Structure 1
Amino acid sequence: MACQSVAAVMDEQALLGLNPNADAPYRQRAMAYFEQLKESPDAWEVCAKALSQGDDHVKFFCFQVLEHQIKFHAVLNAAQQQLVRETLMKWLQCQQLMNAQPEKAFIRNKAAQVFALTFVCEYLTLWPKFFFDILSMVGLNPNGVDVYLRTLMAIDAEVVDRDILHSAEDTRRNTLIKDTMREQCIPSLVESWFQILQTYQRSHPELTCQCLEVVGAYVSWIDLNLIANDFVNLLLAQMSMEELREEACDCLFEIVNKGMDPVDKTKLVESLCQALHAAGFFSVEREEDVDFLAKFSRLVNGMGQSLVLSWTKLVKAGSAKEAGATLQALETKVPLLLQLLVHEDDDISANIVGFCYDYLHVLKQQAIMLAVIKKLTYDDEYNFENEQGEDEAMFVEYRKQLKMLLDRLAQVSPELLLEAVLRVFSNTMNWQTASFMEVEVAIRLLFMLGEALPASHGAHFSGDTMKTSTLQEMMRTQLVSCGVSSYQHSSVSLEFFETVVRYDKFFMVEPQHIPGVLMAFLDHRGLRNNSPKVRSRVAYLFSRFIKTLKHMNSFVEDILTRIQDLLALAPLENGFAPLLTSDDQLFMFEAAGVLIVNGESPVERKQALMRSLLTPLMDAFQLLLAKLLQETEEERQAALADALSHAVGFASRTSKAFSNKQTVKQCGCTEVYRDCLHCFLPALSCPVQRGALRSSVRSFLHRMIICLEEEVLPFVPAASEHMLKDCEAKDLQEFIPLISQITAKFKQQIFMPLVLAIFEVMARPAEDNDQTAALERQMLRRSYFSFIQTMTGSGMNEVMANQGAENIERILFTIIQGAVDLPDPVAQKTCFIILSKLVELWGKDGLPGFSDFTYKHIVPACFLAPLKPTFDLSDAQTCLTLSECALTLKTIYLKQGAEFLQFLQTEYLPSLQVTPQIAQELCQVLQQPDLKVLKNYIK
């Protein structure tokens, strides 16, 4: 009942305590009354009614009670909510009538807070027409406009202000309010601001300044297109009005600071700068108003920092062209930056420091990039004809260091490097008037980007289109299409072709450029260049280009026709130096093979093209071999053998286009390669220049085993016979890998002839002091043991097992000998690996008689080898041998079990005078599951 009686009428006595001059008891009574009204569910209604009466302190008191009620008693019934709305609008209406004496500022501020709180509570549900109601009420009445603007600022504090911490729920509500405002009323609000700014800019500057503050507060989250050119022009005009200029400057600062797309931000800042410059604001020295200049300095700082941020974003996005434009805009602001920085007033200078710092950071990055780029450039004295000179070699080395620095810079900021290269490239690609040093370094930088930038930055022309577009643009317009391939300097020519091949994937994206680049490869710019160095490198690059862009169907035959003369064997007599060396020709033959195989011609056509490629080689080979057999002069013999080897090598290289037998068959090329085998194999029997000829034919056989598979088998017996006839250790050692390949693929019975040939060579007496022969023999032994290891380790032990008891025993004894008697730890280790594997495969009756051999020879080998005086445990290889030796013992135990332990304890170890205690110890260690224990024990 007490509360209800309080609600009926205002307590006049208590209200006396609101006067600042009231005595303490009155003030205390007023405070108690305030608390009473706050706690009452409906007593505040009397305050609502009293808003339009009484003095300022009573009105403020009433607004405070109302504020508390809205804030802390959110559950008002519909009638009470309606009362709040009506009370506020009634009070606002009263403001319209108070032209002579508006309310005090502190009351208007409190009223604005109450309006804002009501808005936050009711806008989304009960009062969607909040702004329209207020705007229709206030019109252009100055008092009403004042409250409207204060209310907007209070709403900004409640809903937007980032300095105020909000709960997650409030944040969600605030986001929803802003979204709804954008949808429903922001255009109307913006229009009202424009009218206020226009209407009151001369008559009520204080209202105009308030409105400018509102625009500055709201611009961060509304559509900037609404603050269109008219608006900005109005602000620029107000920059010249003494009472408005500082607030207009602040408002422009907020517009510039708005988050937006970097390209749009650059355009906005640039248009603003042009307008400010045209209006004379850049003439800082003429301006006497230091307070305004401090604001202007802050605005310039905001514009500068916005440009730096835009540049950074564009660089990160790989938009080098746009980043370049932004950087240019940034650089044009530097004179103004310096004028403000050196101003005698510290506030003006301090306000520009942020921009200065950011710009220095950009400059530092740019400076390092440009310094590296400058140092990459050749100087006039570089001798391209003799690059082995000391100065030249030092520069090449220095360039490598610079490249590493560029790679590091790219890790820090890949986009910045992209943008820097684009600038250099764009400035240089008017190549007709540029020096070769400038053109070369520009293309070199484009080339370097491929390694410096990770693939995701477009090095492979896939992925993020923004990042790839810059590289693609440089390739298209500034390398491939601009004619720079015709620049007549070897360094530029080389760099052009290197870069084309580095970015070969570009041509998959834009295949229309392939014909133009192919012509550059094939004519005087590439393979027929005046410089032998260029021709040689281009031959290799051409082969890579063809291999990457395999499908060049429409160009295949045209290319083959154009390179025909480059595929001819160099004549021995005429004295003219051919365009390409034999090594370069290898790449040309490989490219030709790839073109034929990957073209879309019918099988018959592919077959014909491959035959026309290989027949001249076979014809030349037969003629040259006949000459070699008749030639007596050693120098001429060597030249002929060289030419023969090249012919075989070229034929071999064409087969690189095939991945397996299937592809050879599909292209109808089996027959022509078999013809090559028929043609080349007789060279193996040539009594002169055997080393070179055998080596080339052997390589060809390796390729044919891959390409023809079992089609090669008929040629193997003859080839083996030729290879094993009158063999030296070195010949055999080189022949073993081929035999391993054949055996692995076909399990062919050519195993024993090779082994017997090795035994024969090993049995020959050697001269004591012939170091070369001794080394060759050691290498042959190692190759032989590796061969046996391959046989046992890759499932081909049956090839050995099928050689008959006598042959198997001979082989096994060579392995025992290698394990025990040879002072070569590499060979010993291999032998123990073989013995361990054979025990695993053939032990416990896997091969008749092998268990007996194990006890008689393998077990003793495991003990005798480490007892040799040459067994040096300080040598790492010897330690590995000991490990394999221990593993062999362990494998015997795992295979033979308790029988082996009994053999050791009762027969073998006693024969070595080993005590029963040690014998028992060893047997216990052998039974431990951890092999390390045995290895350590043996050691």
Structure 2
Amino acid sequence: MLEFRKDLFVLLRNVGRVAPEITGIFIRNSLANAITSSSDKNVEEVEASLSLLYALGESMSDEAMRVGNGLLSELVTNLLSTRFPCHSNRVVALVYLETVARYMKFIQENAQYIPLVLAAFLDESGIHHPNIYVSGRASYLFMRVVKVLKSKLVPFIETILQSLQDVVARFTGMSFASKEPTGSEDGAHIFEAIGLLIGMEDVPLEKQSDYLSSFLTPLCQQVEATLMNSKVMNPEQSNVQIANLQQIIGAINALSKGFSERLVTSSRPAIGHMFKQTLDVLLQILVVFPKVEPLRTKVLSFIHRMVETLGASVFPYLPKALEQLLAESEPKEMVGFLVLLNQLMCKFSTLVRDILEEVFPTIAGRVFSAIQRVPDSSGPETNTEETRELQELQKTLYTFIHVIATHDLSSVFLFPRSQDYLNSIMQLLLHTSCQHKDIVTRKVCVQIFVKLIKDWCASSSGEEKVPGFKSFIIETFATNCCLYSVLDKSFEFGDANTLVLFGEIVLAQKVMYEKFGDDFLVHFVSKGLPSVHCPQNLAEQYCQKLKGSDLKALRSFYQSLIEHLRHQQNGSLVFR
């Protein structure tokens, strides 16, 4: 039956393209028949009519939807002004809301229909539907509607908030004695919709402050009350309150999505101050419940959101937050911690240098201690949750180091407390750039080396910024990664990702020549290439290409050189 419906809708769309007017009339008649039916048992007929109307909207372009030519205006008017006898039926309610949401581009250009749209979502057939699945889906669709209509809803904010009062009260009115958490993601969608509404600059500052305070204040009070009573809770109460805290944090997080960084930091800093106070309250959760992973994850998510919302004004709160997040972090949580630092570096670049210098030694110590347990081989015995978590941590570490290197923060590696880990980092990057089974990860490591060479090695001769780094690059990285690894039969030139990696390896050679000059070239040509029996004439051609300015020509030649050496070796080269 499902396949039959799919075929029918495909046929409808095809006919609609050929004869749109006839298709519209057919759907109008179908909808009219469903409307005039007096029976509350015609669920199938109503659902089918609404589905046809939805399919019509799905086949229309955004432009055609906005223009609303032909019967579209009549169809949408009939849709919004109709309440079917079986409207409360779960199936009908769902397809009705989906269909209304599908025509939001039309509503956007025809604001006179907005009251009808709001009624459809806010009454007992939508968000207040007794069926939890319908109300949940209605909440999500309403959030999408708000995203589309945005400022056109400003005149209706009071009406909307009043209609949602009971939904919001489930969060703001939770008591310590509550036996059950409110229990769903609906609240997050509702709070996101509210945030989008009240977070617009079209809303006057005084009203905006009042609106935001009416949500944040009771939610924060709930958090503070729970934290104060945490020591006297029995296990059952504790579990309930932990679940409630998760939902409160999720609600606040969703609410904040409607507020832009510019609004809370520049045009209306008073709003930003309210979010800072909220952040201060939520960070206390990490102190009171230091080992409750779901809460730590929720708070971490909120910190991510505040970084985007508060911008640089979040800095005073970061030391405390990072300290608490590091205090009890397991490998799985360390991944989230590194992702947070990546976000900070990508957003603020060198402004986070001091913060990074403070936490890097602790991070390096824990991560390197953990990833030592990552097995080298793969097999059924290594396919455990712990192994997967450690592999994910290792992968995130590469990204973390890459972000440090590419955001002018490589000096962090040279900070006195961090230098103990420099050799471990170099060896890990070298091993990975040569042998890791994931080509993209290898590429990332080569890019890190290229950036470090640029940062740490001056073109002119003089005192080394990092003693031993130059010789390590020339004698170890250049030969192992740029020569031996590409000669290995596992290096497939027919693979697109491998070709990208090869391009980075060629670029690395060019950068090494620019920074080290003949020191690199002499070693590579006199020791590296002879070790793989490279003919003298090809070595000389390599020198010429490397000294030239055409990187593409160098890449093409080097690939042909590697392929020649492979053929010459006949696959006998053992990877070193």
Q: Does 1:407 align with 2:13?
A: yes
Contact 1:845 1:851 in 2 (8 A): no
Report the CA distance between 1:647 and its aligned residue: 1.0
Q: Out of 706-715 and 567-576, give the one that drifted further.
A: 567-576
What letter corresponds to residue 399 of structure 2 in structure 1? S
Q: Does 1:873 align with 2:482?
A: no
Q: Does 1:586 align with 2:184?
A: no
**Cα distance between partner residues in 1 of 2:410 and 2:107:** 54
Structure whose alpha-carbon radius of gyration is higher? 1
SS in 1 for 2:98: helix
**Cα distance between partner residues in 1 of 2:256 and 2:20:** 41
Pick from 554, 557, 566 the counterpart of residue 933 of structure 1.
Answer: 557
SS in 2 for 1:468: coil
Report the CA distance between 1:636 and its aligned residue: 5.5
Partner of 1:862: 478
Pick from 695, 701, 705 the counterpart of residue 307 of structure 2.
Answer: 705
Pick from 838, 841, 851 the counterpart of residue 452 of structure 2.
Answer: 838
SS in 1 for 2:306: helix
1:229-628 aligned within 5 A: 395-396=1-2, 398-433=4-39, 435-456=42-63, 458-460=64-66, 462=67, 468-476=69-77, 478-484=78-84, 487-550=87-150, 551-567=152-168, 568-569=170-171, 581-598=183-200, 600-628=202-230
**Cα distance between partner residues in 1 of 2:156 and 2:333:** 44
Report the CA distance between 1:566 and its aligned residue: 0.6
TM-score when normalising by structure 2: 0.81
Q: Does 1:788 align with 2:401?
A: yes
Contact 2:93 2:126 in 1 (8 A): yes
SS in 2 for 1:657: coil
Deviation sequence 1:704-745 (CA, Å, 0-9, x none): 111111221100111111122243222221111211222233
Contact 1:658 1:664 in 2 (8 A): no
Partner of 1:657: 258
Report the CA distance between 1:504 and its aligned residue: 2.2
Q: Does 1:849 align with 2:461?
A: no
What letter corresponds to residue 902 of structure 1 in structure 2? V
Q: 1:908 to 1:474 in 2, by over 3 A?
A: closer
**Cα distance between partner residues in 2 of 1:899 and 1:599:** 60
Report the CA distance between 1:912 and its aligned residue: 8.9
**Cα distance between partner residues in 2 of 1:636 and 1:577:** 11
Partner of 1:201: none
Contact 2:457 2:464 in 1 (8 A): no
Report the CA distance between 1:910 and its aligned residue: 7.0
**Cα distance between partner residues in 1 of 2:49 and 2:7:** 18
Partner of 2:361: 756
1:129-208 aligned within 5 A: none
Deviation sequence 1:513-534 (CA, Å, 0-9, x none): 3334323322222222232222
Report the CA distance between 1:607 and its aligned residue: 0.4
**Cα distance between partner residues in 2 of 1:486 and 1:661:** 47
1:677-756 aligned within 5 A: 677-687=279-289, 689-746=291-348, 747-748=351-352, 749-756=354-361
SS in 2 for 1:525: coil
Report the CA distance between 1:900 and its aligned residue: 2.8
**Cα distance between partner residues in 1 of 2:44 and 2:155:** 37
Q: Does 1:828 align with 2:442?
A: yes
Deviation sequence 1:206-233 (CA, Å, 0-9, x none): xxxxxxxxxxxxxxxxxxxxxxxxxxxx
**Cα distance between partner residues in 1 of 2:327 and 2:478:** 37
Contact 1:819 1:829 in 2 (8 A): no
SS in 2 for 1:792: helix
Percent identity between the two aligned chains:
26
Contact 2:88 2:129 in 1 (8 A): no
Gaps of 5+ in 2: 376-380, 564-576
**Cα distance between partner residues in 2 of 1:688 and 1:631:** 16
**Cα distance between partner residues in 1 of 2:108 and 2:529:** 73
**Cα distance between partner residues in 2 of 1:517 and 1:843:** 64
Contact 2:80 2:120 in 1 (8 A): no
What letter corresponds to residue 873 of structure 1 in structure 2? S
**Cα distance between partner residues in 1 of 2:498 and 2:426:** 16
Deviation sequence 1:362-395 (CA, Å, 0-9, x none): xxxxxxxxxxxxxxxxxxxxxxxxxxxxxxxxx4
SS in 1 for 2:120: helix
Partner of 1:213: none
SS in 2 for 1:528: coil
Contact 1:641 1:689 in 2 (8 A): no
Report the CA distance between 1:474 and its aligned residue: 1.4
TM-score when normalising by structure 1: 0.52
Gaps of 5+ in 1: 1-394
What letter corresponds to residue 447 of structure 1 in structure 2? Y
Report the CA distance between 1:502 and its aligned residue: 1.5
Report the CA distance between 1:650 and its aligned residue: 0.7
Number of residue pairs matched? 532
What letter corresponds to residue 894 of structure 1 in structure 2? E
**Cα distance between partner residues in 2 of 1:852 and 1:925:** 30
**Cα distance between partner residues in 2 of 1:904 and 1:731:** 43
Report the CA distance between 1:587 and its aligned residue: 0.9
Pick from 630, 646, 663 the counterpart of residue 247 of structure 2.
Answer: 646
Deviation sequence 1:83-105 (CA, Å, 0-9, x none): xxxxxxxxxxxxxxxxxxxxxxx
What letter corresponds to residue 520 of structure 1 in structure 2? A
Q: Out of 921-930 and 562-571, give the one that drifted further.
A: 921-930
**Cα distance between partner residues in 2 of 1:494 and 1:660:** 35
Contact 1:844 1:851 in 2 (8 A): no
Report the CA distance between 1:559 and its aligned residue: 2.1
Contact 2:459 2:514 in 1 (8 A): no
What letter corresponds to residue 472 of structure 2 in structure 1? H
What letter corresponds to residue 411 of structure 2 in structure 1? A
Partner of 2:509: 889
What letter corresponds to residue 5 of structure 2 in structure 1? R
Report the CA distance between 1:480 and its aligned residue: 1.8
**Cα distance between partner residues in 1 of 2:90 and 2:123:** 14
Report the CA distance between 1:490 and its aligned residue: 2.1
Q: 1:417 to 1:455 in 2, by over 3 A?
A: farther
Contact 1:684 1:694 in 2 (8 A): yes
Report the CA distance between 1:588 and its aligned residue: 0.7
Contact 1:521 1:542 in 2 (8 A): yes
Contact 2:538 2:561 in 1 (8 A): no
Q: 1:518 to 1:851 in 2, by over 3 A?
A: closer
Q: 1:485 to 1:936 in 2, by over 3 A?
A: farther
**Cα distance between partner residues in 1 of 2:241 and 2:4:** 43
**Cα distance between partner residues in 2 of 1:870 and 1:731:** 38
Q: 1:543 to 1:486 in 2, by over 3 A?
A: farther
1:119-138 aligned within 5 A: none
What letter corresponds to residue 44 of structure 2 in structure 1? M
**Cα distance between partner residues in 2 of 1:750 and 1:834:** 21
Q: 1:806 to 1:867 in 2, by over 3 A?
A: farther
**Cα distance between partner residues in 2 of 1:738 and 1:647:** 21
Deviation sequence 1:34-85 (CA, Å, 0-9, x none): xxxxxxxxxxxxxxxxxxxxxxxxxxxxxxxxxxxxxxxxxxxxxxxxxxxx
What letter corresponds to residue 904 of structure 1 in structure 2? F
Greater RCO structure (CA 8 Å; 6+ sep): 2
